[in-house]
Structure 1
Amino acid sequence: MDEKSRRLGSALQAAREGRRPRVRQPEVAEQMGVSRTTIQNIEAGKFTKVNQTVRDYAAFLGWPDGRAQQIFDGGAPPEAAPDAPAAGADDSLPLPPAVEYELRSGETLDTAVISLGPDEDDGHVIVVLQGRKGATPEEIARIAARYRKARRYLQGLAADTDEVAED
């Protein structure tokens, strides 16, 4: 453990603690699929290089690609509020960390906006179909087949909302 690791770990911890709503270590660990000890070790600076888990944690917190390495190499930690858009990304959306992490960690295969009613103010369901980065054509075909079934189900639920509202 050296000063660079401690510095980056502290910056990651500060970013996590500054999030609104606040995200606790166990929640981060669960959503990232790692142990709480892993998150504790990262925040304590108990690593020797910026590995994939550290990069994933930074992405989970909404940091742009390469930012963790920049801080590790001596760059200044982010000064903006954790929920503020990154520099040059003024059109960012305030997504929950878990959603942002999933969007960054996979490859978008398809999207859909399903209206919940005939009027614009009836609301929408937004679906983003994600697959593993570098998925094989067979894996993508399997995911697409499952999605077609789920999409028909979601569209059916949206069509049923008028009946539910009348009950």
Structure 2
Amino acid sequence: MCAVCAPHATRATHMRCSEGETGLSHVHGLRHDEAMDTTGHDWKRLGGQLRADRLLRGLEQQAVARKLGAGRSTIRNIENGHISTQTPTLVRYAALLGWPDGAIDRVLAGGEPEPSGSAEQQLAAPSDLSARIQRAISDGVLVDDQVVTVPIGDGEFTATIVVRGERPPTDDELRQWGRQMRAVEDALRNPPPPADTNAD
């Protein structure tokens, strides 16, 4: 059974494991302010997505600035949408967060960082889920999605986690969710050894 929890629950989100079990988690949703330039590029949305991903990974602005060799004010301007072109620092920032090629353009155009075939889309496809679960994984705004490969015996299975919600989380809630998600990933990838049933 795969399970995950997040603080201050407001709505259910589904996690499906490719070898059988399903579970529910809860977390707040993410909202952003729309601010497009004359080309239709939504720089404020891009900055908000980068900021949310940074918080989910437990990174502070100053730490990101050091890793990128940039000033903290530069990172702040990117996250606030106070840019209008794809600078080298912006591209390196996206790469630092694990965004794939083309993610910046997708977000600027109103999409998500992950291309077709992301965790969210992998989870939304199965038709053998109840209507309640299908609604839970499709309603609201995407907060986070992860695909975790878990070793079991000589094989492995894949846990797909999609987190959606109705209201934007606070910075502290994003950080707390990120910490919990990293703990869940670590527990799934490094399960404790089975109990010795022959022990007295």
Bucket of the pairwise TM-score, normalised by the shorter protein: 0.3 to 0.5
More helix by share: 1
Q: Which has the larger radius of gyration?
A: 1
Which fold has the larger relative contact order, with Cα–Cα distance below 8 Å and residues 6 or more apart in sequence?
2
